[in-house]
Amino acid sequence: MSILEFTAVVAAGSFFAGFLGAITGLGGGVVIVPLLTIALGVDIRYAIGASLVSVIATSSGAAAAYVKEGFTNVRIGSFLEIATSTGALAGAYLATRLPVAAIGIIFGIVLLYSAYHALRPLPNLSNSNQPPDRWGTLLKLHGTYPSEHGTVSYSVRAVPLGVSLMAVAGVLSGLLGIGSGAVKVIAMDQAMRIPFKVSTTTSNFMIGVTAAASAGIYLRRGYVDPGLAMPVMLGVASGSILGARFLTRAGTPLLRKIFSAAISILALEMIYNSLAGRL
């Protein structure tokens, strides 16, 4: 295979990953790394470096549209970015020290969890009649969002738990080159009881900063190859822009099932290859 053919295959695969990632809400990063390593035999360090830059492109592009809708809570995002960025720096340093097989196994486990997460809808935890958290008040995290019935205000709780989960999301992002959107949404929606739409848009708002925190280290360590990152970034970004257009009309429970099954297979292959020393 020549570089030209290789680039075309990677661009097509990345476009597909970005499209599915946007439709299912899982992001393109979780698919692109196994695709590159298992299907195309790319070393996982190059794959993670390329995935990480594509994550910045997708999240920043989407955040540009979301921020105007008025759901994004800039204070919550900025505050939690301290935790995700610290985690991401730690994750990126960890990535340069851990053996490749260990990274592959952790990636496989995170993939399996993502597949499970895509199938099981999160319970709806309403926060209307519970008292606000002391930290939430102190840090001015409570906010409002627009709805059909006028402006709705919400309060934030379990801030220390939310911060801890965000640090974990950051480590995973820096270690595996993914956006960790699923963990971020769980931290905000399930732990801090922030309304779902605010959680998803604010999570997306933070992903670019989190990824940038580890991308600098990856670039300086020589993990970001321009020839590989080029088709991955352009493919994933254009795929997710198109996917986001479909998002509104596709409820897609069937698609989520197919996607979960595909991710599970990739996960098991990734773990098997890591154990067999073939990654």
Q: Is 150 in the site for another protein (CB under 8 A)?
A: no
* CA 124 centroid distance within chain: 21
The nearer residue to another protein, 118 or 136, going by C-beta atoms, is: 136
The full 3-state SS of 208-234, as one line of letters, equals HHHHHHHHHHHHHCCCCCHHHHHHHHH
Q: Is 269 in the site for another protein (CB under 8 A)?
A: no
Q: How many CB atoms lie within 10 A of CB 132?
A: 15
Length of the chain: 279
User: Nearest distance from residue 251's CB to another protein, in Å?
Assistant: 28
Concatenate the DSSP letters of all residues of 120-188 into one string.
Answer: SPPP----TTSPPPHHHHHTT--EEEEETTEEEEE----HHHHHHHHHHHHHHHHHH----HHHHHIII
Q: Is 85 in the site for another protein (CB under 8 A)?
A: yes
Contacts (CB under 8 A) with another protein, residues 199-238: 208-209, 211-217, 219-231, 233-234, 237
Q: Do residues 22 and 181 make contact, with C-beta atoms less than 8 angstroms apart?
A: no
Tokens describing residue 104? 């592959």
User: Nearest distance from residue 58's CB to another protein, in Å?
Assistant: 9
Stretch that binds another protein, among 63-71, 155-163, 181-189, 190-198 (CB under 8 A): 63-71
List Cβ neighbours of 271 (8 Å cut-off, separation of 6 or more): 104, 105, 108, 109
Q: Is 98 in the site for another protein (CB under 8 A)?
A: no
Q: Is 107 in the site for another protein (CB under 8 A)?
A: no
The nearer residue to another protein, 106 or 112, going by C-beta atoms, is: 106
Q: Exactly one of 60, 127, 137, 164 binds another protein (CB under 8 A); which one?
A: 60
Q: Is 79 in the site for another protein (CB under 8 A)?
A: yes
Tokens 């934030």 sit on residue = 156
Report which of 155, 118, 113 is spatially closest to residue 138, judged by C-alpha positions.
155
Q: Exactly one of 42, 115, 165, 169 binds another protein (CB under 8 A); which one?
A: 42
When computed from its CA atoms, the radius of gyration of the chain, rounded to whole angstroms, is 18
Q: Exactly one of 30, 31, 56, 171 binds another protein (CB under 8 A); which one?
A: 56
Q: Is 278 in the site for another protein (CB under 8 A)?
A: no
Q: How many CB atoms lie within 10 A of CB 180?
A: 34
User: Nearest distance from residue 47's CB to another protein, in Å?
Assistant: 8
User: Nearest distance from residue 173's CB to another protein, in Å?
Assistant: 12
Q: Exactly one of 1, 124, 153, 249 binds another protein (CB under 8 A); which one?
A: 1
d(CA 80, CA 203): 9
The residues binding another protein (CB under 8 A) are: 1-4, 6-7, 36, 40-43, 45-46, 53, 56-57, 60-61, 63-65, 67-68, 70, 72, 74-75, 78-79, 81-82, 85-86, 88-89, 92, 139-140, 208-209, 211-217, 219-231, 233-234, 237
